[in-house]
Structure 1
Amino acid sequence: MSTVQEHAVRCAVIGAGAWGTAIADRLSRNGHAVTLWAREADVVETVNTRHENVRFLAGASLHPALRASSDMAAALAGARLVVYAAPSHVLRPVVASGAVHIERDAVLSVATKGIERETLALMTDVVAGEAQGRAVVAISGPSFAAEVASQQPTAVVAACDSAAAAELVQSTMSAPEFRVYTSDDVIGVELGGALKNVMAVATGILEGLGMGFNPRAALMTRGLAEMTRLGVAIGARAETFAGLAGLGDLVLTCTGALSRNRAVGVAIGGGQTLEEALAGKESVAEGVLNTQSAKALADRAGVELPIIDATYRILFEGQAPRAAVAELMARELRAERD
């Protein structure tokens, strides 16, 4: 199978943060007609006149054919593939605001990683609920936007219970430097993408405390066990968490210098409050929101998640990070495998 779509597809990318912009650029470079919807007038202006998203992806040179618009109806008109990349806490109203303009036969894909706080719904469920009757594909995997925009080799997963819809996303997005795999485990792919952000915050807290590689490795490994445990409890397959959307994204987000979630954790481990760590940030650190959602989802499913619980206590209940680490290390001894 070719790694580049042979026929151009009309695409809309809804949400012009760093990740949405990188996806729109990738699709445009693949020869598709792409409109990037942005709420911010300055983003539309700089994308269209300077071929750069100065606010959210400064320094990346965007494909000159990429067009941006703040008109949702115009962005969605005729689009066969719609990619949603709005932050998780605003995804539902963003989808709802344009639902009547989505083509009846469009395939919808979701690049947002998260769990809706109020409903504990995964992002594909949010989109499916607001734009009914269409296939919805989750996109996840280890993919810093800046590196995708600079055409560094990247691999992600497109997951859907419709093989045809997943393969459309695969063929439309794939390029020699951007490899897309398919999966039918939507829950596993989505949950891996959401929970790894929580683990990145936790890993950053350890780094902010001045701890070394041993604790980081322990936290990432046991964090992966927690991600898998919760996923299996709500219908995912364990092996998905050993793939790109689980282990792959976990390694990237917990160790990469470009990780916003890790940076927030470093600030908190270094003594800042959550409010101080988030102050002045243009982009959302999804791991903070997802810590609340993941804890609530685990409580509902009756699943024990010690690292996520500890992260929640640090972020929202004022527990000192060193005390939380000590509690984790003092837990009752047990076998490694559940």
Structure 2
Amino acid sequence: MHSRETVGVVGAGSWGTTLAKIVAENGHEVVLWARRPELAAQLNAQRHNPQYLPQIALPAGVHATAEVQRVCETCRLLLVAVPSHGFRAVAREMAPFLDGEHVIVHTTKGLEEQTHKRMSEVLREETPVRKIGVLAGPNLAPELARGQPAGTLIASRFGDVFRRAQAALSTSYFRVFSGQDVIGAEIGGMFKNIVAVAAGIVDGLGLGDNTKAFLMTRGLNEMARLGVSMGANVLTFGGMAGIGDLVATCASPHSRNHQVGVRLGRGESLAEILGQTRMVAEGIRATRAVRAFAAQQRLQLPIVHALHRVLYEQTPLDEAMRELVAAQSGDEFMGLML
């Protein structure tokens, strides 16, 4: 048994709720922050999350609150699981109650759309915390909440971040690996959502396994190309945060991004889909952010370009697919060989 620590989980969506369950089952007390007081009250009274994973019981060690000050002042280790579009606002809300003794591991798989910044960069800008890490890997919340075996990566420049997060999260069914490539972990976790939307479109169109394998393989290439341009280690994309997360997200019915793509492929409009979806599909926003960044940096990312045309330029799916296939030629590894 690891030494016990009261751990804060910021965000009570499906992933935050799952993290709180894992940590509490591991023998630690958990303070779980929900933005809405009524949700915090429901979590405490009903011992499950009525909006996300309603069939999953919360351990007695999970204590929900809507007071971010309580989370930050009670807990020195914080797991932040909020969507990218609200991440900076939450960091600012936390900042007055944080100091250099806090450790933050974020799990957000997106880029800030306006600035193209990664979440670790946002944390450094908005808070005094310097011991920052990122959790990334094939971690579909419904499966982990049921205790199905999985692995993940925690990347940080600080060994203490990994050790404390591992002590909180490592269980008989959840294997936690360490790494130092924060950039690679963040880019892998973000970019796989883009590829998952595209893979879902392939499934929705009824195309075959060859097409999907082609798309996923080229998607991994584009992920690495983007990451290396930002300073990542190309090897990271062959691990949990790269191909591991990519395979799970492109194949699973639990993947929000994949399911959005499936519905697009079957003819539904993006506005219609998003209007009916409570949970966030990060790949939609990420496509726009990465498309803008790639244009600034003159990076060739054909899948991103094609998906952007479908999502934001009303390009017909068959036309975008033809353009995508036509764009994929030349050296397979595009300068990524070691």
TM-score (norm 1): 0.96
Corresponding position: 1:232 with 2:228: yes
Tell me the residue number matched to 1:123: 119
Q: Secondary structure at the match of 1:330?
A: helix
Query: Of 313, 317, 325, which residue of structure 2 is paired with 1:329?
Result: 325
Q: How many residue pairs end up in the alignment? A: 334
Query: Of 86, 90, 112, which residue of structure 1 is paired with 2:108?
Result: 112
Deviation at 1:121, TM superposition (A): 0.5
Q: Which amino acid aligns with 1:109?
A: V
Deviation at 1:332, TM superposition (A): 6.5
Residues 77 and 103 in structure 1, CA contact (< 8 A), matched pair in contact too: no
Deviation at 1:281, TM superposition (A): 1.1
Tell me the residue number matched to 2:280: 284
In structure 2, C-alpha distance between the alignment counterparts of 1:293 and 1:46, rounded to whole Å = 35
Corresponding position: 1:183 with 2:158: no
Corresponding position: 1:56 with 2:52: yes
Query: Of 229, 242, 251, which residue of structure 1 is paired with 2:238?
Result: 242
Corresponding position: 1:39 with 2:20: no
In structure 2, C-alpha distance between the alignment counterparts of 1:148 and 1:103, rounded to whole Å = 31
Tell me the residue number matched to 1:80: 76
In structure 1, C-alpha distance between the alignment counterparts of 2:198 and 2:166, rounded to whole Å = 32
Deviation at 1:164, TM superposition (A): 1.9
In structure 2, C-alpha distance between the alignment counterparts of 1:149 and 1:173, rounded to whole Å = 13
1:174-213 counterparts in 2 under 5 A? 174-213=170-209
Deviation at 1:245, TM superposition (A): 0.4
Tell me the residue number matched to 2:150: 154
In structure 1, C-alpha distance between the alignment counterparts of 2:92 and 2:144, rounded to whole Å = 28
Cα deviation code 1:246-302 (max 9, x no counterpart):
000000000001010011111111111110111121111000010011112222322
Q: Secondary structure at the match of 1:176?
A: coil
Q: Secondary structure at the match of 2:162?
A: helix
In structure 2, C-alpha distance between the alignment counterparts of 1:221 and 1:16, rounded to whole Å = 33
In structure 1, C-alpha distance between the alignment counterparts of 2:328 and 2:14, rounded to whole Å = 42
Greater mean deviation of Cα atoms: 114-123 or 161-170: 161-170
Query: Of 293, 299, 322, which residue of structure 2 is paired with 1:303?
Result: 299
Corresponding position: 1:214 with 2:218: no
Q: CA RMSD in A?
A: 1.2
Tell me the residue number matched to 2:20: 24
In structure 1, C-alpha distance between the alignment counterparts of 2:308 and 2:275, rounded to whole Å = 19
Deviation at 1:103, TM superposition (A): 4.6
Residues 80 and 103 in structure 1, CA contact (< 8 A), matched pair in contact too: no
Identity of aligned residues (%): 38
In structure 2, C-alpha distance between the alignment counterparts of 1:182 and 1:152, rounded to whole Å = 21
Q: Which amino acid aligns with 2:27?
A: G
In structure 2, C-alpha distance between the alignment counterparts of 1:9 and 1:131, rounded to whole Å = 22
In structure 2, C-alpha distance between the alignment counterparts of 1:131 and 1:332, rounded to whole Å = 42
Deviation at 1:166, TM superposition (A): 1.9
In structure 2, C-alpha distance between the alignment counterparts of 1:22 and 1:54, rounded to whole Å = 13
Residues 230 and 303 in structure 1, CA contact (< 8 A), matched pair in contact too: yes
Deviation at 1:171, TM superposition (A): 2.1
Residues 302 and 327 in structure 2, CA contact (< 8 A), matched pair in contact too: no
Q: Which amino acid aligns with 1:261?
A: N
In structure 2, C-alpha distance between the alignment counterparts of 1:78 and 1:103, rounded to whole Å = 13
In structure 2, C-alpha distance between the alignment counterparts of 1:83 and 1:90, rounded to whole Å = 15
In structure 2, C-alpha distance between the alignment counterparts of 1:306 and 1:293, rounded to whole Å = 15
Residues 166 and 182 in structure 1, CA contact (< 8 A), matched pair in contact too: yes
